[in-house]
Each structure stands twice: as C-alpha cells, then as structure tokens.
Amino acid sequence: MSFGERVRAARRMAGLSQEELAARMGVTKQSISKYEKDIMRPQSSTTLISAAQALQVPVDYFFRETLPAPLRVRYRKRASMPAKSLSGITERVSDSLERYLELEELLGIKSEFSAPARHTGLRTADAALFSARELRKDWGVGETIAVPSVSQLLEDRGIRLVAVSGFKDFDGLSGFRGDEPFIAIDERRPKDRLRFTMLHELAHILFWADGHRDDKDDERHCQLFASEFLLPAAALRSELAESARRVITPPELLQIKEKYGISMQAILYRSHLLGLLSDAGYGAVLRDFGTRGWRKNEPGEFPGTERPLRFERLLFRAIAEDAISLSKAASLSMLSQDDLRHRLSGADAARDK
C-alpha cells in the first residue's frame, strides 16, 4: 500500500472529507488530493505529524510495509447508515486486522479456524436451529448450559475479533481477510446485544459458501441460530413450564437474561415460538414492555466479559518476550507509550480488585 493509499484509508477511518482533513492540517484540499494520488508528499516533518494527529494514527502508519489483503465483508447496512460511515468501518477493520496479523507473524503464531463438518446450513429455520445445536456439541459447550463468554469462545476457536467504535447504528459485521475469518463489533453495546451479534455474524461465516443470499430469510435464520446457541430450546423449557403460559413475569425474564446473556425480548420471542407462551400472553408482555420503556432499554445485565482480548494478550506477551520494542507495540496497538506503560504496570487491574 502506497503512502497515498495510506492517507486515503486513514481519512476514511476518521470519517473525514478531503476538505475537512485539509482544514485540520492547515493545508489546501488540492494538497490532500495530491497526497492521496501519490503526486507529492508532505514537505516537512511538521506537516506529516499534523496529518497523523488529524487522522489519529501514528506517523509510522503511513510507511508500513505490510500489504493488507482485500476484505470480503457481509454487512446488512441500516438505512440510517451513511455510505461514508460504512467505508470508514471497513477501513478500520482492515487496519486492525493488518496490525493483528503483523503481531502474529512477529510471534510466529497464527489463529486457525476450522468450520465443523456437521451442519445443514441456513436454508430453513429448522436447519439453522439444528446447526446451532450441533456446533455447541462440536465445540464442547454442552447442550443446555450458558456460554460464559462468547467472545472468548470465538477467539479460542480461531475467529479474530476486532473492536470498532464511534459509528452510529453499527453493531457488527463479519467476513474474511484472505481465507481468515473475522468479526468486528462495537464493544460499547450492552453485553446481551454483543453476544447475540457475535453469534449472528458467526452464522454468516459458517455458511458463507452455502448458498448464502443475505436476504431477509437468511437474516432471520442467522437470528434463530444465535438465539438457539445462546439459549437452547431444551434449556428454555427447563426454565419455564412445558405447557403454554399466559404470562411470564419480569423477575423470571431478568433471571434468565442474566444467566444466559440474551435479551428479555429475545427470550419472549423464543418462548412464544416454542409454544411456551400463548399468543395473548406474548402480546400482553410486549405491551407491558412498551409501557415500561423496555422495548428500547431493558433492565438487567449479563455479568460476564464480552470484548476482544486476544490481540492485547499477544501484544503484552510480545513485549515481555522482547519480540518487539515498546515503540513498535505502541504502533501496533495505536496507543501511546505512556498508556502502554500504565497498562503494563497492572495499575488498572489492581484498582479493579
């Protein structure tokens, strides 16, 4: 990737137009255009530092020698998401994965993802549910127990997770960098939403080449896959009565949410779908949720940890083994050396105890 391509990618990551970047740097729009076309480069180190500060990247970002592989991405864009935002998300994911892969290469390790053989795809609702149950078995999760951490499970199984924040209406996307799968999430979302999003995106990865159409049916089947993986039908039946009920109380829903890490509205939907909650009961609880304002903001929170951890763990390992310098670690992590020293001191961990 040339210097100009780096500037353009960083500008898209920052969500800036050429005019906006020029204003922040104190140069003309024509200069930015020439930078991006590799017609010229900043004539002074001061201008280069100004570009790095405006784009919130380290100076050496512009001179990396690694070649980023093209991404194949699946993302169901919301109507309210501007095209510029989607471009910025994609560039950030690409940059994060580039740094992730470079760190793995420096340590001589690599994530290996192997899709399980036993699945029937997403062509039907029953196939999606069956696939979720089979994957639980293949990955040793068990048939009915709660998943302690979806993010840790995915990273342990070779999925690279990257965090992307600062974009309205973004939950997650998935895809491949070369042959290597990844999932990107906004880790600021509620944990139950994060867990569901990651498994929804996992379904896209598992069935990428399986006649996947990205239509409404596929999206619904991905949702069913995620719901069944988080809260299997057998587990839900053991939590509730086997016969249809007219009401499920808020305390019951809260307990199930906090145990399995799935939203109360998803629990209600699953209960109704499985015949554990009558039509009248389902409608009554949803109306009650609307009155309480719970359709948008539910109470309760899953107590587990749901965020990407593997990259950070590898980074600290590389520093400890003298595989990289602190300045290189800062470049790879996009953190300052002072921030890294603070993290390495363990001060945050000691304070959280």
Q: What is the per-residue pLDDT across 222-236, written as a single tens digit (0 to 9) for each? A: 999 999 999 999 999
Query: What pLDDT, in 10s, does the model give residues 297-307?
Result: 999 999 999 99
With b meaning 16 or more CB within 10 Å and e meaning fewer, what string describes 318-343? bbeeebbeeebbbbbbebeeeebeeb
pLDDT at 242: 66
Distance CA 135, CA 205 (A): 13
Transcribe 160-226 into DSSP letters. EEEE--S-TT--EEEEEETTEEEEEE-TTS-HHHHHHHHHHHHHHHHTTTSS---SHHHHHHHHHHH
Cβ proximity of 143 and 136 under 8 Å:
yes
Lowest mean pLDDT, pick from 53-67, 164-178, 313-327: 53-67
Cβ proximity of 222 and 124 under 8 Å:
no
Residue 61 or residue 150, greater confidence:
150
Query: What pLDDT, in 10s, does the model give residues 56-105?
Result: 888 888 887 666 677 888 876 666 777 778 888 888 999 999 999 999 99
Distance CA 168, CA 154 (A): 25
Q: Considering the entire predicted model, what is its pTM?
A: 0.84
pLDDT at 350: 47
Mean pLDDT of 139-163: 94
Of all helices (H) and strands (E), which one includes residue 74? Answer: strand 71-74
pLDDT at 353: 44
Which pairs count as long-range contacts for 327-330, CB under 8 Å and 24+ apart, including other chains? Answer: 330/58
Cβ proximity of 100 and 311 under 8 Å:
yes
* Average pLDDT over the chain, rounded to an integer: 88
Mean pLDDT of 284-293: 94
pLDDT at 303: 92
Distance CA 37, CA 31 (A): 10
| Geometric angle at alpha carbon 69, from 117 and 186, rounded to 5° | 75
pLDDT at 319: 95
340 pLDDT more than 70:
yes
216 pLDDT more than 90:
no
Mean pLDDT of 149-165: 95
- All structural domains of the chain, each given as residue ranges with its CATH number in brackets, are 1-65 (1.10.260.40), 233-292 (no CATH), 322-352 (no CATH)
pLDDT at 254: 96
Query: What pLDDT, in 10s, does the model give residues 232-269?
Result: 999 999 998 766 778 899 999 999 999 999 999 999 99
Q: Give me the amino acid identity at 137.
A: K
Cβ proximity of 42 and 34 under 8 Å:
no
pLDDT at 122: 77
pLDDT at 287: 94
239 closest CA partner among 254, 227, 225, 229: 254
212 pLDDT more than 70:
no
With b meaning 16 or more CB within 10 Å and e meaning fewer, what string describes 250-280? bebbbebbbebbbbbbbbbbbbbbeebbbee
